[in-house]
Amino acid sequence: MKKFYDVSLANPFMLGTSQYPSPAVLAKAFERSQASVATVSLRREASNDKAGQDFWKLIQQLNVHILPNTAGCHTVKEAVTTAHMAREVFNTRWIKLEVIGEEDTLQPDVFRLVEAARILNEDGFHVFPYTTEDLVVADRLVDAGCRVLMPWGSPIGSGMGLNNVFGLRALRAHFPDIPLVIDAGLGLPSQAAQAMELGMDAVLLNTAVSKAGDPAMMAEAFALAIRAGQLAHCADPMQVRDMACPSTPILGKAFLD
């Protein structure tokens, strides 16, 4: 497995921490998923806010890597400022960079994203940019210093899965040495398996688990699917054929007149 800024992950599962029914359910979901990374959003709360302190204590007890994000940011200044605040609060150089450009789809503003990524990389951050599957944008992000790319599968929280398999295949082929993380839009474990079968290096999701009837069970289901997809990719699967090919050889078969 590729390293994420010199960090090797035991499990290519990154799980969000928002919208769970309770802190106990969140903790159980992480336990059953064995996720290696927790994404967290910075909230502008007072330093003595008890709810904020309790949440941070819970996250620390998960014993996973913390990936703060700039969720809800629409400008370069807002994203950069939020990233700097997150680095102080969570004591990490990792930052999932989101710069939203369109409200209905929550599609990233790729122009501002590249600009913010360049600034943050120069400031010493390890940037995980939430982007599209566009090859030119990906190239600009790599030029800006990003060593991980996080293309969306489909709009955040939509559950539509991988909307552009061709684009994701092309991204994998063009950037064989860059870790790719499918971020956003996954709703079913089968979609996560498909992402890993394409050669993605990790999967990040939140809503599909936190909004499930049984979040802990769904978290485990995704973990199993991610592992299955990873194994399938490593096993060098058969190629798709245009014609049927018998699995039982005809050579040596008895023929009756």
- Give the CATH number, domain containing residue 42: 3.20.20.70
Considering the domain boundaries, does residue 246 fall inside one? no
Considering the domain boundaries, does residue 162 fall inside one? yes
Question: Which region among 35-44, 101-110, 138-147 has the lowest average model confidence (pLDDT)?
Answer: 35-44
Q: Which of 32, 12, 14, 10 is nearest to 215 (CA)?
A: 32
Which pLDDT band, with edges at 50, 70 and 90, does 97 fall under?
very high
Confirm or deny that 132 is annotated as ligand binding. Answer: no
Count of alpha carbons within 13 angstroms of residue 252, beta-carbon side: 2
Considering the domain boundaries, does residue 61 fall inside one? yes
User: What percent of the chain is predicted at pLDDT more than 70?
Assistant: 93
Confirm or deny that 184 is annotated as ligand binding. Answer: yes
Confirm or deny that 185 is annotated as ligand binding. Answer: yes
Spot the catalytic one: 2, 3, 57, 96. 96
Considering the domain boundaries, does residue 183 fall inside one? yes
Q: Which residues contact 220 (CB under 8 A, 6 or more apart)?
A: 32, 33
Q: What does the pLDDT average to over 169-195?
A: 96
Active site residue 211: no
Considering the domain boundaries, does residue 253 fall inside one? no
224-252, pLDDT tens digit by residue? 999 999 999 999 888 888 888 777 766 66
The secondary structure of residue 9, as a DSSP letter, is: -
Considering the domain boundaries, does residue 243 fall inside one? no
Measured distance CA(200)–CA(182) in Å, rounded: 7
Q: What does the pLDDT average to over 37-57?
A: 71
At 154 the three-state DSSP class reads: coil
Considering the domain boundaries, does residue 250 fall inside one? no
Domains of the chain: total: 1
Q: Tokens for 42?
A: 């910075």
48-92, pLDDT tens digit by residue? 566 667 788 888 888 899 999 999 999 999 999 999 999 998 899
Q: What is the pLDDT of residue 57?
A: 85
Q: What does the pLDDT average to over 134-150?
A: 97
Which pLDDT band, with edges at 50, 70 and 90, does 45 fall under?
very low
Residue 93 structural domain:
3-235
The residue ranking higher by pLDDT, 127 or 50, is 127
pLDDT at 257 over 80: no
At 68 the three-state DSSP class reads: strand
At 71 the three-state DSSP class reads: coil
Name the average pLDDT for the chain: 91
Considering the domain boundaries, does residue 248 fall inside one? no
